[in-house]
């Protein structure tokens, strides 16, 4: 099954896909921005400050999703002894980190008008900051070590320890008394958010997901060419 995903076979697709994804991303983002900034209603309590949700929430969701994927891919890389899993994982990390930073910064901007402070050592915010540190450690490990085996081991260790933080982020608003509001969207039960706000949120999430796919493909292609460059040196 993994032979179908061999870099040599999929490069034709991964090298051509970015231009189409970039086009789709611009279209979806444009629709999302009009919905988020103009068409969606203001909140009865937070007024127009609620519009920050349309960048803050998708960024947080995607950074959490990418970190979980990093862990899964790293573990699969070890189980199946397949280097491609690590390559995919490495290519996903930069966009995950940027989304994590966006979630923290936009959360801080949102905090000022709603809570009256830019920052609080609240359980949700602190656990998101810890995830950003794990992302940073993961990225640094790939930069500072040359030996692949060592990088694979250390980066997997970081993701396995970091994944413990994911349920803490998710349930921090239920387990502790926090400034952060509880989840408004639930997959298993009824969401408390109105459809006039839910649809723009989903459109922005789709745009953010397309952007992370775009960055992933470009980074993955870069990594493949790096490998091929080393191959040419050996010729």
Partner 1 sequence: MINEIYFMNGYAGYVLSAFSFTLLSFLGLYLVVKVQLVREQNKFVAKFGTLDSEKAKSAKQQRINKEILANATNN
Alpha-carbon distance of 219 to 35, in angstroms, equals: 30
> Considering the rule CB under 8 A, would residue 190 count as an interface residue with partner 1?
no
Nearer to partner 1, 113 or 167 (CB): 113
Of 52 and 197, which CB lies nearer to partner 1 in the complex structure?
A: 52
Q: Does 149 bind partner 1 (CB under 8 A)?
A: no
Should residue 210 be labelled a site residue for partner 1 when binding is judged by CB under 8 A?
A: no
3-state DSSP of the chain: CHHHHCHHHHHHHHHHHHHHHHHHHHHHHHHHHHHHHHHCCCECCCEHHHHHHHHHHHHHHHHHHHHHHHHHHHHHHHHHCCHHHHHHHHHHHHHHHHHHHHHHHHHHHHHHHHHCCCCCCCHHHHHHHHHHHHHHHHHHHHHHCCCHHHHHHHHHHHHHHHCCHHHHHHHHHHHCCCCCCCCCCCCCCCCCCCHHHHHHHHHHHHHHHHHHHHHHHHHHHHHHHHHHHHHHHHC
Q: How far is the CB of 82 from partner 1 (least distance, A)?
A: 17
* 110 binding partner 1? (CB under 8 A): yes
| Candidate ranges 70-78, 127-135, 138-146, 211-219; the one touching partner 1 (CB under 8 A) | 211-219
Site for partner 1 in 18-47 (CB under 8 A): 33, 36-38, 42, 47
Considering only 28, 35, 40, 51, the residue that binds partner 1 (CB under 8 A) is 51
Residue 55: left (phi > 0), alpha (psi -120 to 50), or beta? alpha
Q: Which of 28, 35, 55, 122 binds partner 1 (CB under 8 A)?
A: 55
**In the complex with partner 1, which residue's Cβ is closer, 163 or 216?**
216
Give yes or no for residue 74 binding partner 1 (CB under 8 A). Answer: no
Is residue 113 close enough to count as binding partner 1 by CB under 8 A?
A: yes
Q: Which of 28, 57, 59, 125 binds partner 1 (CB under 8 A)?
A: 59
Instruction: Examine residue 169 and tell whether it contacts partner 1 (CB under 8 A).
Output: no
Only one of the segments 94-102, 122-130, 150-158, 160-168 lies at the binding site for partner 1 (rule: CB under 8 A); that segment is: 94-102
Neighbours of 115 (CB within 10 A): 13
The tokens of 142 are what? Answer: 């790939």
Task: Kindly tell me which of 94 and 156 has the beta carbon lying closer to partner 1.
Answer: 94
Binding residues for partner 1 (CB under 8 A): 7-8, 11-12, 15, 33, 36-38, 42, 47-49, 51-52, 55-56, 59, 94-95, 98, 101-102, 105-106, 109-110, 112-113, 211, 214-215, 218-219, 221-222, 224-226, 228-229, 232-233, 235
């Amino acid at each position: 099954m993994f032979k179908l995903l061999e870099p040599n076979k999929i490069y034709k697709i991964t090298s051509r896909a970015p231009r189409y994804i970039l086009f789709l991303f611009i279209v979806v983002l444009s629709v999302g921005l009009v919905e988020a900034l103009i068409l969606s209603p203001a909140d009865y309590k937070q007024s127009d400050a609620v519009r920050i949700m349309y960048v803050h929430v998708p960024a947080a969701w995607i950074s959490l999703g990418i970190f979980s994927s990093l862990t899964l891919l790293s573990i699969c890389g070890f189980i199946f002894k397949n280097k491609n899993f690590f390559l995919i994982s490495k290519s996903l990390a930069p966009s995950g980190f940027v989304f994590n930073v966006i979630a923290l910064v936009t959360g801080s901007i949102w905090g000022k008008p709603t809570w009256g402070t830019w920052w609080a050592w609240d359980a949700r915010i602190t656990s998101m900051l810890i995830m950003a540190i794990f992302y940073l450690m993961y990225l640094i490990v790939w930069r500072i070590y040359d030996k692949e085996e060592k990088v694979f081991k250390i980066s997997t260790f970081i993701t396995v320890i970091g994944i413990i933080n994911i349920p803490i982020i998710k349930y921090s608003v239920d387990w502790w008394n926090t400034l952060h509001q509880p989840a408004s969207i639930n997959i298993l039960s009824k969401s408390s958010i109105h459809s006039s706000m839910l649809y723009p949120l989903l459109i922005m999430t789709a745009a953010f997901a397309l952007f992370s796919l775009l960055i992933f493909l470009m980074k993955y292609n870069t990594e493949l060419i790096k490998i091929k460059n080393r191959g040419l040196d050996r010729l």
